Amino acid sequence: MPLIEVEYYFVGREDVEYYLGIDYEEVLEGVLFKKGDESFVRIENNKKLIYNIRDVNGNLEINEEDALTTVENYIKEEKMDLSDYKVDLIIKREEMYEIIYKRYYEGIPLENDYYKFIVDNKGVAGFESQVIKNIEPKEGMITVTSAYESLLRLKNENLQERVNITNMEICYYTDENVEGWANILRANMDPTWKVVTEKGNIKYLTEVE
């Protein structure tokens, strides 16, 4: 598979004003912006936008289908362009659903380009997003270890409890836990095995041949 290099969209004050309007309070310079008692925008590492519309309503009563329909209607109403995205994961929490859309490149999901919607009984309570603005394929190819070999590596880790895997697929992924990530505009994305457990936890098996 080919490697790709991507350029991230940096979140700015114009994005804050788009969601909160011009009448907001800057609680933490360049990071946290608040309007009213519940609505806020938080910017993480210059790339990640977290928009909280309101607090989550407890005692979840809707089902997965209702939650997905709610998100689809919200996307249409807000005229959000998610034409390159697909639903990747739906996770049920105690008081909400997390519905995660991932962007796809030539049929393969880009793990670092996503929208995660929070849905409760009253609708969409907020979302988190990180967006890639440009994708460039690089010269050369890379061979990923087989699914079987990758699972053996996972088995050899010191897991604290039994893990039931619900899905495993190839994706493009960049580890964001690197020094200076907040200031990195361009980065490589490597073909990587993604393992999803029944609890909605994700493990990236980044070792390649």
Q: Give the domain ranges of the chain.
A: 7-133, 135-205
Predicted pLDDT at 157: 66
C-alpha torsion sign, points 177, 201, 194, 147: positive
Tens place of pLDDT for every residue, the chain, 209 residues?
A: 888 999 999 999 999 999 999 999 999 999 999 998 889 999 999 999 999 999 998 888 999 999 999 999 999 999 999 999 999 999 998 899 999 999 999 999 999 999 999 999 999 999 999 999 999 998 878 888 888 888 887 776 656 667 788 889 999 999 999 999 999 999 999 999 999 888 888 889 875 54
Predicted pLDDT at 160: 63
Residue ranges of alpha helices (H) inside the chain are 13-20, 64-77, 147-155
Q: Summarize pLDDT for 123-164 with one digit per residue, the tens.
A: 999 999 999 999 999 887 888 888 888 888 777 665 666 778
Residue 116's nearest CA partner among 30, 48, 32, 203 is 48
Predicted pLDDT at 209: 45
Distance between CA atoms of residues 50 and 128, nearest Å: 4
Write phi, then psi, for 65 (nearest 5 degrees).
-65, -40
10 Å CB burial of residue 172 (0-12, 13-18, 19+) is buried
The reported pTM is 0.90
Q: Per CATH, is 7-133 categorized as 3.30.310.160?
A: yes
